[in-house]
Structure 1
Amino acid sequence: MGNPPAHRARKRFGQNFLHDTSVIHRIVRAVDPKKGDNLVEIGPGQGAITLELLPIIGTMQVVELDRDLIEPLARRCGLVGEIRIHNADALKFDFGSLALPDRPLRIVGNLPYNISTPILFHLLKYADDIKDLHFMLQKEVVDRMAAGPGSKTYGRLSIMLQAKCEITRLFHIGPGAFNPPPKVGSAFVRLIPHVKPPVQIDDETLFAQLVTQAFSQRRKTLRNSLSKIVTPEIIQDAGIDPSIRPEQLPLAAFAELANLACKALD
């Protein structure tokens, strides 16, 4: 298929193009695509992963913001399968429009590290339409996603994602696998939306507000950090010590606290 066309990676798009063949093959094995999968790739770039996935599944869709990459990508992918390219910002794209009743979305991508967290939160809106997600991300972000209570990396991202998905760290990827090499290490991660949520959340908006507030000043105790949302009495009613810090609290406790706060507002 020849070499990809010359394209200077654009910093404003957070572009770091994957080129390491062994890493690409490892990613494809982890995704384990099957013919007929409703697969969507975010940020295909020059098609390093796309060109390995497409021959297996036959047809796929991609969301790419950089319009200069679209024509070369369409030309190269047209040789191995059918591709539909959406020239759009993934942060604003309606992924639900690509879901089909009997074919939930499988989403894969090398997410721009500067906007990876907002994209993850955007995708949570479509969790009911998604079978799984596989992403390359900054290693530090993956550590935060998978962290448990008591860890320094445990926080808002951990709780909000774990409430919706099972998260599995798969493997690390060194900077040399990309061009240009990022200044940080990367990791590949799998997210599978829960069929049955691990906790009951009565008010999603209030839950998100409470978690965000708790970690806005993470060195504060729950009594102080949540004073604008819940009283110390509500914290105690949830069976929680108001003097502990938020990183000590598991997901289930945050859900219980938010549900009690919701009842107090009724």
Structure 2
Amino acid sequence: MLSTFRTVALKGADVPTIAEETLDATLRFESVDKHFANGTTALTGLELSIAPGEFVAVVGPSGCGKSTLLRLASGLDTASGGTVHAPTDSVGYVFQDPTLLPWRSVLANVELPAELTGTPKAERRERALDALRLVGLEGFEKQLPGQLSGGMRMRVSLARALMTRPLLFLLDEPFGALDEMTRLRMQEELQRIYAETGFAALFITHSVTEAVFLAGRVVVMSARPGRITASFDVPFPHPRPAELRYDPEFGRIAGEVSAALRGGFQ
């Protein structure tokens, strides 16, 4: 599938340039640096590529620049050096907080992205209902966010992001604030949705087992300034059963990721 991409290339103090290109749907970071005004270097020489339909999870110590990666991929921030190739018009972003509007119904919250882009009412209603069915919230369209559990609110957030029919899904620790049982159920729901839709995904998490359960590839970042220090393929097909977490091969991969993560603190 082809899509319009944004390419941002920065060299030293050069002025940022943005070019529109037609490329295979993917996300690429090439020798990316990110410096902040306070003198902090968040990323240095970062290299990462995500193929169409690939689910990549990123783990690393706190403050290593994981969330900065997502901000650069989404266009919410720009790199200080290197090149970022990312879709301009086909990105879904899910935050740790569902960020729902409390006065709008579930259906109205999900419709919001299409409403803001001027999509006709009938079309956005149909797409919103499809998204709610996909995340298992059919029948909750008229509820307000305050009437839902934490897991259900996160499902609404996922449905809202799916409204854009993204080629690339960016997820910033979306299940971090949930209790353990709800978190496990949401992991199973997300990988089911991924198996049905086939979007590419960049998923940020502090949980190694979550990363291995969800992703086809897990990458490890170093402590600040962040860079990729290790990458692990996870060969299990999607959708994945809950029992996979007890598989010896699953445990072996999780152990290797954990060892690489510990090495990143040294």
Q: TM-score range by the shorter chain?
A: 0.3 to 0.5
- If the length of structure 2 is used for normalisation, what is the TM-score? 0.33
Point out which structure has higher relative CO (alpha carbons under 8 A, 6+ apart). Answer: 2
- If the length of structure 1 is used for normalisation, what is the TM-score? 0.33
Larger Rg, first or second structure (1 or 2) = 1
The structure richer in helix per residue is 1
